[in-house]
Amino acid sequence: MKRWLAAGACLAGAAGFWVYRSQERPEPRAAAYAAAASCRGCHAEVWKTYRLTGMGRSFGPFSPERTAADFTKNNRFYHAASDRYYSMIRRGGEAFMRRHQKGLRGEEINVVEKRIDYVMGSGHKAQTLIHRNGRNELIELPVAWYTARGGYWAMNPNYDRPDHEDFRRRIRYDCFFCHNAYPGMGARPDDFHADPVYPAELPAGIDCQRCHGPGQAHVEAAAGKAPAEKVRALIVNPKRLPRERQLEICMQCHLQSTSLPLPHSIVKTGRGVFSFRAGEPLGDYTLFFDHPAGAGYDDKFEIAHAAYRLRQSECFRKSAMTCTTCHNPHDVKRGEEAAAIAGRACRSCHAQPAAAGHAGRSECVSCHMVQRRTEDAVEVVMTDHRIARRPAAGDPAGSRKERSGAPYRGEVAAYYPAKPDALHYAIAQVRTGTNLSGGLPLLEKASRDPGCGADCLFELSEAYGKAGRFEDAARTAEETLKREPGHLHTLRSYGTHLSAKGELARGAELLEKALRQAPDHPRTLHDLAVNYLRQGRQADALRLLEEALRADPDSPEIHFTMAGVKSSVNDWSGAAAELREAIRAKPDYGVAHASLAALLSQQNQEREAEFHWRQAVRHAPENARVRHMYGTVLMRQQRSKEATGEFEAAVRLEPGNDEARFFLGVLLAEQGQARRAAEHLQQASRSAVAEIRERSRRVLQMMGGGAAR
């Protein structure tokens, strides 16, 4: 048991090496933004109507007035796939989301309750609820309010699965980018890899400056009674921009080709996530990518697809239309009124529709821009902005399940601009592992350019790691640190990797350097603690883990590692408490269930142990160690057939597991399956472990099979 927990702790520390961590370096700020309300004085009527639009109501502090969600009657939701119960409640002027499961006797277990601090979404289609944690991270809560059918609760997109992120999904800067005005980041870095830590005060909704650019100089000029021409020159008026620049103001958020991990866009190295300014070429800020034609995704339809689908339309390609041809971004028009506006836009080109059946009709949208259910947010129906010549067959708004299956692997195609630069095209191939084989040679070539700095090399190092080329990854990480010794992301990632390899002194050096830059970073504290454990510095490791838990008390991995520390000093009750906390934070944490089950078995608490063994196998069916451990317990309990199944699974998952093969051979022999038993025992008899080798040979001799070959 002690060895199992300690090994798990080390693995937990090593697992994230080649996963993206943050690099936190400030960038110079451009023109200043004004307070959002500054626009109201001169533009009162536009301000008033804009605040009622979806963009104006995209985000804000929670209040009963901001949402129609039901917190009193229809306020419970059971998610069968993860076997979790959720309650949305109001108490003492605040609102909370609560989760529990049912234990052995039907009692509530694994209870988590988080305050709802913000509401994201206007409420026209749906609203997501958000919690701010002690590190000033924003946590997306798992259950959302949907307005169809009179309103109901259901899981947020990508949560309708057994292993969803529950209360642990941090809202990254690139997600926040499209759902609110820019936060005042000050000196805090906002590059793609930075930790998503937010300032104390957040804006309430997308403001005017998102489309008109930074407004402080404009406001000051107007207040100082500057000439009107100068005042106008200090703000962006989109209608005076060329068509492409106008479109790009909308496309910064509505051009997402897919929410699948393709990736759909890459913010250019050296640019902050919140650095786009209305009026600049969008390609100077970010590059967009897509599935290649013919890969099976040609007709995908997702929730952020308005501009993406519009650009597929013949009407768009053969006219000078923009988004504002049909949409007034300053005002709310829905239903018949919106359809009438769109119809007038259609008739500017199609005054006399040629097709039969159009006589006397003034409304075009219901047939040519149908309401269609989105693939990534399956509870939502949206207008398909691909203007179709003929109405779609079937029911485009019909119900569908959340998509699943193996992720797309293959080329990541350039989308917008059509010819991206070589570096960012290469990064797009490898960042999420979509096209490693094709992208790595391209990124290697790009990295030889003299302009390839630490960020560029970091991308290459991570790509090598994803491809399993760890020596190349380490070599590139060393080169990154030569160019920029304080490259925080590389310090964390490479330091953890070296620690897992056993290069403890160098690993600790890098992690300690990272910790000096960001002293309260939970993952760095955890990974350095694991390094210290392997060095035998138990007191130092315990101190770091306690700091890590203060920074992130909801981390299942940190609780799991702490359990290993406590078990190593025979603090079994403390270890059990930490494992329960790990499971409370992450009920599908199979390895933690197995560890707790093993501990409970040692204490003869077999009934509860059995409950956790079953949970372990349910949530970690592909973990050979879990299946092996459970098989051992079942064999000890003389539950031979069940034990056989677990050992068969262990051997299938880990063919070199000679101990599992030995036990499987013994069980099969007991069940009269001599031929199958001999196959496994003969392989075990060639084990590098002398004890397994000798025991296997003895059993073979007892079976009459003679000495193992």
Averaged pLDDT, 312-326: 93
pLDDT recorded at residue 382:
93
Higher-pLDDT residue of 157, 345: 157
Q: What is the pLDDT of residues 390-414, one digit of tens each?
A: 877 788 888 888 888 899 999 999 9
Structure confidence at residue 10 (pLDDT): 37
Task: Check whether 50 has a pLDDT greater than 50.
Answer: yes
Least confident span in 72-76, 94-98, 358-362: 358-362
The whole-number average pLDDT for the span 33-40 is 93
385 phi, psi to nearest 5 deg:
-85, 5
> If you average pLDDT over residues 560-566, what whole number do you get?
97
The stretch 114-133 carries a mean pLDDT of 97
Q: How many CB atoms lie within 10 A of CB 288?
A: 22
What percentage of the chain reaches a pLDDT higher than 90?
84
Reply yes or no on whether the pLDDT at 13 is more than 60. Answer: no
Provide CB contacts within 8 A for 416, sequence distance 6+: 251, 255, 282, 283, 287, 288
Is residue 4's pLDDT more than 50?
no
- Nearest in space to 256 (alpha carbons), one of 196, 297, 214, 309: 309
Tell me the per-residue pLDDT of 81-103, one tens digit each, with 9 for 90 and over.
999 999 999 999 999 999 999 99
How many residues are listed for the chain in this entry? 709
- pLDDT at res. 625: 96
First to last CA, the chain: 34
pLDDT of the residue at 350: 82
Q: What is the pLDDT of residue 360?
A: 66
| In contact, 568 and 2? CB cutoff 8 Å | yes
Alpha-carbon gap, residue 97 to 163, rounded angstroms = 19
Compute the average pLDDT of residues 682-697. 95
Please compute the mean of the pLDDT values over residues 305-326 and round it to a whole number: 94
User: Is residue 506 within a helix (H) or strand (E), and if so which, with residue range?
Assistant: helix 504-517
Side-chain-side CA neighbours of 464 within 13 Å: the count stands at: 21
Give residue 359's pLDDT band: very low, low, confident or very high (50, 70, 90). low
* Secondary structure element (H or E) that encloses residue 275, with its range: none
Whether 604 shows a pLDDT value over 50: the answer reads yes
- By the 10 Å C-beta count (0-12 exposed, 13-18 middle, 19+ buried), 699 is classed as buried
What's the pLDDT score for residue 509?
98
Question: Minimum mean pLDDT among 325-339, 520-534, 627-641, 674-688: which range?
Answer: 325-339
Q: Would you say the C-alpha torsion 486, 488, 490, 496 has a positive or negative sign?
A: positive
| Burial class of 216 by CB neighbour count within 10 A (0 to 12, 13 to 18, 19+) | middle
**Burial (Cβ within 10 Å: 0-12, 13-18, ≥19) of residue 107:** exposed
Mean pLDDT across 323-351: 82
- Per-residue pLDDT, 302: 95
- Global confidence as pTM: 0.90
Count the alpha carbons within 13 Å of 350 in the hemisphere toward its beta carbon: 20
HSE (side-chain half, CA atoms, 13 Å) at 360? 1
What would the pLDDT profile of 449-459 be if each residue is shown by its tens digit? 988 999 999 99
3-class DSSP state of 618: helix
Q: Alpha helices, DSSP H only, in 518-622?
A: 522-535, 538-551, 556-568, 572-585, 590-602, 606-619
Nearest to 186 by CA among 28, 21, 37, 61: 28
Per residue in 206-259, pLDDT tens? 999 999 999 999 999 999 999 999 999 999 999 999 999 999 999 999 999 999
pLDDT value for 460: 97
- Average pLDDT score over residue span 50-76: 95
Angle at 208 between CA 128 and CA 217, to 5 degrees: 140
Q: Report the distance separating Cα 89 and Cα 85, nearest Å.
A: 13
Instruction: Choose among 179, 339, 329, 345: nearest CA to 249.
Output: 329
As a whole number, mean pLDDT of residues 431-436 equals: 96
Among candidates 541, 531, 481, which has minimal Cα distance to 508? 531
| Confidence band for 274, pLDDT divided at 50, 70 and 90 | very high
Residue 676 is predicted with a pLDDT of 96
Rg (CA), the chain: 29
Contacts of 220 (CB under 8 A, 6+ apart): none
Tell me the pLDDT band of 649, cut-offs 50, 70 and 90.
Answer: very high
Q: Is the dihedral of CA 235, 238, 241, 246 positive or negative?
A: positive
Give strand pairing partners of 416.
288
Torsions phi, psi of 95, nearest 5? -125, 150
CA distance 245 to 265: 18
What burial letters (b/e) apply to 518-546, b meaning 16+ CB within 10 Å? beebbbbbbbbbbbbbbeebeebbbebbe
The mean of the pLDDT values for the chain is 91
Tell me the average pLDDT across 353-368: 74
Q: In the chain, where are the structural domains located?
A: 57-206, 236-255+295-349+362-383
pLDDT for 266 equals: 96
Three-class SS of residue 263?
Answer: coil
Confidence (pLDDT) at 347: 82
pLDDT tens, position by position, 621-633? 999 999 999 999 9
pLDDT at site 28:
36
pLDDT at 354: 61
379: Cβ contacts below 8 Å, ≥ 6 apart: 126, 144, 146, 148, 154
Higher pLDDT, 351 or 260: 260
Count of beta carbons in the 10 Å neighbourhood of residue 650: 26
379-393: pLDDT as tens digits: 999 999 999 988 777
H or E element, residue 96 = strand 94-102
Question: What is the residue-wise DSSP string for 208-241?
Answer: THHHH---HHHHHHHHTT--HHHHHHTS--GGGS
Residue type, 645: G
pLDDT band for position 116 (cuts 50, 70, 90): very high
Q: Which stretch of 132-141, 386-395, 413-422, 637-646 has the lowest confidence by average pLDDT?
A: 386-395
Residue-level pLDDT at 30: 55
171-181: pLDDT as tens digits = 999 999 999 99
288: three-class secondary structure by DSSP? strand
Q: Do 447 and 478 contact (CB within 8 A), yes or no?
A: no
Mean pLDDT of 179-196: 92
